[in-house]
Amino acid sequence: MAAQFSPLEVETTAMGSQLDALNQWVMDVALLTQPDRIQWCDGSDSEFAELIAQMEGDGTLLPLNQETHPRSWLHRSHPDDVARVEHLTFVCTTDRDDAGPNNHWMAPTEAHAKMDALFAGCMRGRTMYVIPYCMGPIDSPLSRCGVEITDSPYVVANMRIMTRMGAAALARIEREGQFVRGLHSIGELDPERRFIMHFPEELTIQSYGSGYGGNALLGKKCHALRIASHQARSEGWLAEHMLILGVENPQGRTHYIAAAFPSACGKTNLAMLIPPEGYRTEGWKVWTVGDDICWMRPGADGRLYAINPEAGFFGVAPGTSEASNPNALATVQRDTIFTNVGLTQDNQPWWEGLDKRVPAFDWRGDAYDCNAGKPAAHPNARFTVSARQCPSWSPKAEDAQGVPISAIVFGGRRASLVPLVFEARDWTHGVLVGAAMGSETTAAATGAVGVMRRDPMAMKPFCGYNFADYFAHWLSFDQPGAQLPKVFHVNWFRKGSDGKFLWPGFGDNLRVLEWMLGRVEGQADAEATPIGAVPRAEDVRLDGLALTDEARSVLFGFDRDGWNAEFAALEGFLDEFGDRMPDALREERNRIAAELSAG
C-alpha cells in the first residue's frame, strides 16, 4: 500500500538525492493547497482496489453488471465538464510569438499568479495524490517521465490504466533527475474557474476546475503532446497526435503506419481494424500499437522509429459497435472505466450505435426518454481500458527501440473536394499536406460541431509552440542519409450528391492501406496530379464492394477548380504566421498552385 503523509511530513519521503527536487515540489504544493493527507501512489493492485472501493462508496464510480462487464464501472461527469476546453487552454511562454497564433497565450508570471490564487487551499478536506508515471515503455530511451499531483482518485485510477505508473517510474525519475510537473485539482468544477496552463520552458502543467480526461489526465494531451512537442523540438524527435498500426501481409512482412486524424475521426477504428473476409482468408493481419499518440525518433539506419507513450485507450464510445470496431468492443468487456455512457435496465453500459436495445438511463443518470430527441450517451462519452486487452494488441508496443515507420498518413472529415487517398511527392510536399489538413469539428471539444477548420497534422489543439516553428522542425528531418516514410492523405468521409458517405470505411480501409504499402514497395500504380499521386479505381482492390459510378468518379477523382480555391485559401493560412513560416512551405504551395493554374 502506498505511504500516507501529512503535509508537514513530506520532507521525510526522500528516496535519493535525485528526488530532492521532487520532494521539495510536493512540499511546496502541499503548503499551497493544504490537503488533509498526502498519498504517494505506487501503482499496486492493492492501491487500485482501495481507490475503487473509496469511489464506489462515495458514488464517484458506479459498479456495472459484473456478469457481463466484470471489474468495470461508470463515472458521470458534471454536465458542464464533458470535453476539452480549448478556449481555456493556454501555452505560457516568455515570448508570445513562441506560442504562436495557433495557441492561446498568457505571460508565465500572470498565469502563475492566476493559478496560485485558484490552488490556494483548494485541497482542504481532500487527499493529495502524488503520481509518478512514465510515458512509453519503462526501459525505452524514447520514453519520458512525469509526476502528476491531483486531488481526484478518478484521475489516479485512469492514470494507472493510461501510463506506466508507480514505483518503476519513480526509480527512472531518480536515475534521470528530470520529469514533467503536473498539478491538477478538480476545484469546484466551476466553468468560470477552469484553466489548463502549460509552461513548456519549465516542463510544467497546471490544470484547475475540470475532471474530464483530456483536461485532468495530465499525462495524455497535456504532457504527451503539448509539453512533449516542445521537448521533441529541442531534443530532435516528434511528438504527434497519431495512431500506430502494423499491417502484416500474407508473406509475413509487417509495415508500420502512423496516422494523424482529429479526435473522433476514426483513429481508434483504424488502429484496431479487422481485415475484410477475403483479406483474412489470404492471411492479412493488422496489429495495434497505439490509437492516439505517437513519439518518433530517427534511428541509426535513418528510418523513423515510433513508440506509443500510452499504456491504455481513452476512446470515444458512441459509434463503437460489433460492425464498426469489434476489437474495441471486445477490449471493453472487462476491467474498464466508462465515462458518461447510458445504462440499460440490467446495468450494462450503452451508447448510440452499440445495438438496438433501449437504455433505461442517460449519461446524467436520468430516466431515458426515447421520444425526447436527446442521446442516452454523451457524444464524447469515453472508455478507459488497458491496451493489452485489445485482441489485435501488438507485443511490439513494448519494444524499447520502437517500431520502424513506413508511411505517415494525414486525414480529416471532408465531405467534398478531397479524394479517398493521395500520396505526397516528397517529404517537403508531405509536410505541406499535413500543414494544410482541414476537418469538420467533432464533439471531442467544446463548441459547434461540423464546422470546417484548418487542423495541421491534427495538432491544432495540441501543439505546444508556434506552428511555423513546428513545420520547420518537421522539415529538418529531411537530411542526407534519412530514409523517411512516404506521406499520404486519406478522406474516409467524402459524401455523394445524396449526402451519404461514398466509402464504406472500417475494415475496407485496409484496401487503401494495401495500396499505400504497394507504393512504399514500388508495386502500385497511380496517376500524377498537381496535388500528388492519386490512384485510379483500378489501382485499388475493390472486389466485393458495390461502389456506384458516382463513388468511383468522386473517390478517385481530381477537381482542379476546387483545388485551385483550396490552395488560394491555403496561402492566407500560411501568411497568418508571418516571417516565421518556412520559405520551403510557401515555395511548395506556390509550385502546386502554379501547376493547378497551368492546367
Q: Within this chain, do residues 526 and 408 fall inside the same structural domain, yes or no?
A: yes
Q: Within this chain, do residues 523 and 550 fall inside the same structural domain, yes or no?
A: yes
Strand-strand pairing, 89-91 and 104-105 = parallel
Q: Please tell me the distance from the alpha carbon of residue 234 to that of residue 371, in angstroms, as a whole number.
A: 55
State the sign of the Cα–Cα–Cα–Cα dihedral 290, 291, 293, 295.
positive
Q: Within this chain, do residues 185 and 279 fall inside the same structural domain, yes or no?
A: no
Q: Which of 290, 291, 314, 292 is nearest to 403 (CA)?
A: 290
pLDDT tens-place string over residues 432-461: 999 999 887 765 555 666 677 899 999 999
Tell whether 70 is covered by a domain: no
- Residue found by looking up cell 500499437 in the block: 289
Tell whether 229 is covered by a domain: yes
Residue where a domain terminates, one of 182, 201, 235: 235
In degrees, rounded to 5, the angle at the alpha carbon of residue 453 between the alpha carbons of residues 450 and 459 is 110
Q: Which of 434, 435, 442, 438 is nearest to 418 (CA)?
A: 438
Distance from CA of residue 453 to its chain's centroid? 18
Residue where a domain terminates, one of 196, 215, 235: 235
Instruction: Tally the domains of the chain.
Output: 2
Q: Is 511 helix (H, G, I), strand (E, B) or coil?
A: helix
Q: Please tell me the distance from the alpha carbon of residue 288 to that of residue 261, in angstroms, as a whole number.
A: 16
Q: Within this chain, do residues 298 and 219 fall inside the same structural domain, yes or no?
A: no
User: Could you give the count of Cα atoms lying within 13 Å of 103 in the half-sphere of its Cβ?
Assistant: 31
241 in a labelled binding site: yes
Phi, psi of 147 (to 5 degrees): -135, 125
Length of the chain (residues):
599
Q: Please tell me the distance from the alpha carbon of residue 204 to that of residue 146, in angstroms, as a whole number.
A: 9
Distance from CA of residue 80 to its chain's centroid? 22
pLDDT value, residue 451 = 72
Tell whether 371 is covered by a domain: no
Tell whether 174 is covered by a domain: yes
- Is 155:128 a contact under the CB 8 Å cutoff? no
- Expressed in angstroms, the distance from the first to the final Cα of the chain is 70
Burial of 128 (0-12, 13-18, 19+ CB in 10 A): buried
pLDDT tens-place string over residues 14-38: 445 568 999 999 999 999 999 999 9
**pLDDT at residue 6 is higher than 60:** no
pLDDT tens-place string over residues 319-376: 999 999 999 999 999 999 999 999 999 999 999 999 999 999 999 999 999 999 999 9
Q: Within this chain, do residues 110 and 50 fall inside the same structural domain, yes or no?
A: yes
- What residues have CB less than 8 Å from 264, skipping those under 6 apart? 316, 380, 442, 443, 444
253 in a labelled binding site: no
Residue where a domain terminates, one of 203, 235, 267: 235
Q: Within this chain, do residues 190 and 282 fall inside the same structural domain, yes or no?
A: no
315 in a labelled binding site: no
Q: Within this chain, do residues 36 and 133 fall inside the same structural domain, yes or no?
A: yes
Among residues 122, 265, 294, 463, the one annotated as catalytic is 265
- Is 186:126 a contact under the CB 8 Å cutoff? no
Tell whether 375 is covered by a domain: no
* Domain range for 198: 4-63+85-235
- What residues have CB less than 8 Å from 198, skipping those under 6 apart? 89, 90, 91, 92, 204, 205, 222, 226, 227, 464
Supply the pTM of this predicted model: 0.94
Tell whether 91 is covered by a domain: yes
- pLDDT average, residue stretch 255-271: 92
pLDDT value, residue 440 = 79
- Is 37:5 a contact under the CB 8 Å cutoff? yes
Q: Within this chain, do residues 505 and 584 fall inside the same structural domain, yes or no?
A: yes
371 in a labelled binding site: no
Q: What is the CATH number of the domain that holds 15?
A: 3.40.449.10
43 in a labelled binding site: no
**pLDDT at residue 13 is higher than 50:** no
Q: Within this chain, do residues 403 and 255 fall inside the same structural domain, yes or no?
A: yes
Tell whether 362 is covered by a domain: no
Q: Which of 200, 199, 229, 194 is nearest to 214 (CA)?
A: 194
Phi, psi of 142 (to 5 degrees): -85, -15
Q: What is the CATH number of the domain that holds 496?
A: 3.90.228.20
pLDDT value, residue 19 = 81
- Residue found by looking up cell 469515453 in the block: 382
Q: Within this chain, do residues 416 and 514 fall inside the same structural domain, yes or no?
A: yes
pLDDT value, residue 3 = 40
Q: Within this chain, do residues 449 and 584 fall inside the same structural domain, yes or no?
A: yes
380 in a labelled binding site: yes
Tell whether 353 is covered by a domain: no
| Res. 263 pLDDT band, cuts 50 70 90 | confident
- Residue found by looking up cell 513530506 in the block: 10
221 in a labelled binding site: yes
Mean pLDDT of the chain: 94
- pLDDT average, residue stretch 590-595: 98
458 in a labelled binding site: no
Is 265 part of the annotated catalytic residue set?
A: yes
Q: Please tell me the distance from the alpha carbon of residue 271 to that of residue 289, in angstroms, as a whole number.
A: 8
Q: Which of 456, 517, 522, 466 is nearest to 247 (CA)?
A: 517
- Is 538:529 a contact under the CB 8 Å cutoff? no
Q: Within this chain, do residues 415 and 482 fall inside the same structural domain, yes or no?
A: yes
